[in-house]
A and B are shown apart, each in its own frame.
Chain A
Amino acid sequence: MSRRDPPATLDVSRRDDGWYLTAAGDWTAERLEAVVGPLRSLGRRLCDRPVVWDFSAVHRIDSAGLLLWLHHRRRLESLGCRQRVVGQSAELRRLLELLRDYPVEAPPPPPKGRFFDPLTALGRFVVGGWRDFIAFLAFLGEDFVTLLRTLRHPSELRVDAIAHHIQEAGIRALPIITLTSFLIGVVIAYQGAVQLQKFGANLFVVDMIGISVTRELAPLITAIVVAGRTGSAYTAELGVMKITEEIDAMRVMGFEIHRFLVLPRILALMIALPLMIFFADLIGILGGMVVAHLHLNLSFSEFIHRTQNVVAVKHYWIGLLKGPFFAWLIATVGCFRGLQVSRDTESIGRYTTISVVNAIFLVIACDALFSVVLTELGL
């Protein structure tokens, strides 16, 4: 009974009075490899004389080995072979008895061809999308009602939780925001410098950096980093809480999910994101300034002076204004998807992915909307 026992074998020999199928070794689940092939090759040619299964040399047999053998015995039977069994050990007999106790039922027929029907697939997709949309509206409604109530009773606001989430989503994200926005400033300055040098218009690199970073790039890049970092975290946190039934526990204790979990996250991100955008503005311009200094011989004081003269403050305000909108989208989608997680672990991964993809798409779409509306307004 050690792991050095020989694996299962099957010897097929033809004698005058019959086919002798001699099994030997360890007929247990993990050691059957060598007999699967020989068993499968048994066929009609064996039916010309009696088939004798000899199990006397089998060391051990378990239910997997037994069922494998029975499977092929039934197959030979259906081909019309005459069979008998010799040398059954006590173990084998006990297993056969066990099998008699638990007759295996035929499996229920699998549902037919549903999966490849494109119409069914389309129908499922549309209905699923519609249900998603309705659920999202319900979520928004609940959130809005909670917000209104909180406005009436400001003492219900979970200030501690908000502060905690500002720290998690905002302050802890500063290193990565610093890095990305600095690099964005560097890239813009480099690309701009090459083109502007052709016209001898070096100085205009300041306008380019000042406007593009504050108005468009800093808000967008920051929001995308936050969507990947915080949006996914919100979904995963709420999803795990749902799986471990913490959400249900909170509900039965009368702690409304929206007041305790959702609203603090949304408000925290709406406060943190504009601040992060402001920070990204500064770092992005700094990045551009460094490149302009090294590459275009523009001194820091000249750069700052020019920035103050040409970059209208409205660009900066527009950039900041986008912050709360982006934050609302990211946090709302993150929380909504988190609460959609069902009870299996795989759905956490699925909904976290969906959440980030949705959030990034919505942020870019929202930015496009801002662009069109503000330009039409002449701002």
Chain B
Amino acid sequence: MTEPLIRVEGVVTRFGDNRVHDGVSLHVRQGEIYALMGGSGSGKSTLLRELVLLHRPDAGRIEVLGKDLARIDWREAAWLRRQWGVLFQSGALYSSMTVAQNVAMTLREYSALPPAVMDEVVRLKLRMVGLPARAAELYPAELSGGMVKRAALARALAMDPRLLFLDEPTSGLDPVSAEAFDQLIVKLRDRLGLTVVMVTHDLDSLFTIVDRFAVLGDGKVVAEGPLDEVIHNPHPVIRDFFWGARGRLRTHHGQ
């Protein structure tokens, strides 16, 4: 068994009086597609923000690639930030730059590549996420929702990260695009050896591409593991999730 790439132990997060996390513990292994699930307000996105150094938990320990996030200095933080790519829910593309410039941004800042090669890297990434070549010169405001997600994924992949964080990658996509996006993630994981952590509500993604996942509820991880193990967990949060009207349909068909 490989050493976990991400280890979260006893994380507590408070917003005022509201305890979002009350001792969350989980771990993500090398090369897996790991999902964080849970209802709205269960703190999935907050946990993701904590993993990528956007928010600091009130207590507990988070280790990413062997670094304790609470104790790293700025050098290590800078190194860490180049090891991951993050896809935000709304894409968060820089609106004053074209898609190509968005993707090239990190390459321009962190590498010494000559412009011609940089351009090739950008075009490769755009091809990989399935964007047509002409999309490179468009501005984010001119893209459709699905294209924004793809462009943002291309940007997240620009530096060939080892870790990919996705915040609701398939939300707002039509079923066909969502399916294609899921397949894309699997393919990238296989080809680039990525480890993927995603926040998702999408039961389809869960059934088709996710290796292991954690379900958050009441500020804790109520279950963690592969689908077959978690699905029969009697915890009410999980029952509602998989045996509610929508979940039941998918659960039956999925098996």
Contacts and interface: CB of A to CB of B under 8 A. Distances in A.
Interface of A: 3, 28-30, 32-33, 36, 40, 62-64, 67-68, 71, 91, 94-95, 97-99, 101-105, 107-108, 342-346
B140 A344 contact: yes
A102 B121 contact: no
Contacts of B127: 102-105
B121 A63 contact: yes
Contacts of A345: 95-96
A132 B209 CA distance: 51
Nearest to A36: B112
B100 to A, nearest CB: 9
Main secondary structure of the interface of B (DSSP, over half): helix
Interface in B150-184: 158-160
A342 B45 CA distance: 29
A107 B133 contact: yes
Contact of B113 (A32, A94, A103, A342): A32
A342 B141 contact: yes
A30 B111 contact: yes
Interface residues of B, number: 35
B160 to A, nearest CB: 4
Given A30-B159, A32-B111, A36-B114, A104 B120 contact: yes
Interface of B: 76, 79, 82, 95-96, 106-107, 110-114, 116-117, 119-121, 123-125, 127-128, 133-134, 136-137, 139-141, 158-160, 191-193
A71 B140 CA distance: 29
A183 B191 CA distance: 70
A104 B141 CA distance: 25
Contacts of B79: 3
B112 A107 contact: no
A107 B160 contact: no
Contacts, number: 91
Nearest to A30: B110
A63 B124 contact: yes
Interface centre among A29, A97, A108 (most CB of B within 10 A): A29
Contacts of A104: 120, 123-124, 127
A36 B133 contact: no
The 6 A-B pairs of least Cβ separation, nearest first, read A344-B95, A62-B160, A343-B141, A346-B96, A33-B112, A102-B127
Given A3-B79, A105-B133, A32 B120 contact: no
Given A28-B159, A67-B117, A344-B139, 14 more contacts: A3-B79, A28-B160, A29-B159, A30-B111, A40-B114, A62-B159, A63-B121, A63-B125, A64-B111, A64-B159, A94-B191, A97-B191, A105-B127, A343-B95
Interface centre among A36, A102, A105 (most CB of B within 10 A): A102
A30 B113 CA distance: 9
Contacts of B82: 30
B112 A32 contact: yes
Contacts of A68: 113-114, 117
Contacts of A67: 117, 120-121, 124
B191 A98 contact: yes
Contacts of A40: 114
Given A30-B159, A62-B160, A102 B124 contact: yes
Nearest to B137: A108
A99 B113 CA distance: 18
